[in-house]
Amino acid sequence: MLIVSKRGNPLTLKTQNLMQEKLNRRDFLFKAAMVGAVAPALAGTLAACGGGGDTAAAGCNDTTGLAPADITMRQTLKYVDATTDPAKACDGCQLYIAATGGAACGKCSVVKGPIAPKGYCTSWVKKA
């Protein structure tokens, strides 16, 4: 049997098969579950690409361009962008180098990469 489109053109065999194929319950539930599993990951990816939030803190957590050893050092010293103890923030640390030129992130003598002024790591030393 030859199936033709509304314009009278014959359809390819693949298109004919797709039109005649019916979706059973199992396939429908499987495809719905796949969409449900992918949707949160996609939403998280889109949010990470600029979906609001504090851009200064997000930028200070960027480790692209750092050597693996420097990333390991950040993790070993338990660096975080937001301290749980306001008295021990990076901007009150002797090792912290303040940001210049209007930049949101500063630097550190020990931890490589961008450092949030209100961040913290275990090498914190009170400014003299």
71-114 per-position pLDDT tens digit: 899 899 999 989 899 899 999 999 999 988 888 899 999 989 89
Could you give the CA distance from residue 91 to residue 82 in angstroms, rounded to a whole number? 11
14-49 per-position pLDDT tens digit: 655 555 566 677 777 777 777 777 767 666 666 555
Residues 6 or more apart whose Cβ sits within 8 Å of residue 2: 10
Domain locations in the chain as residue ranges:
1-52, 55-108
Q: Which amino acid is at 89?
A: A
Return the CATH number of the domain spanning residue range 55-108.
4.10.490.10
- What per-residue confidence (pLDDT) applies to 52? 45
Residue 10 pLDDT exceeds 60? yes
- What per-residue confidence (pLDDT) applies to 94? 93
Instruction: Please give the backbone phi and psi of residue 62, each rounded to the nearest 5 degrees, phi first.
Output: -80, 120
Could you give the CA distance from residue 106 to residue 96 in angstroms, rounded to a whole number? 7
Predicted model pTM: 0.53
- What are the residues facing 108 on neighbouring strands? 96
- What per-residue confidence (pLDDT) applies to 16? 55
Largest CA distance in the chain: 89
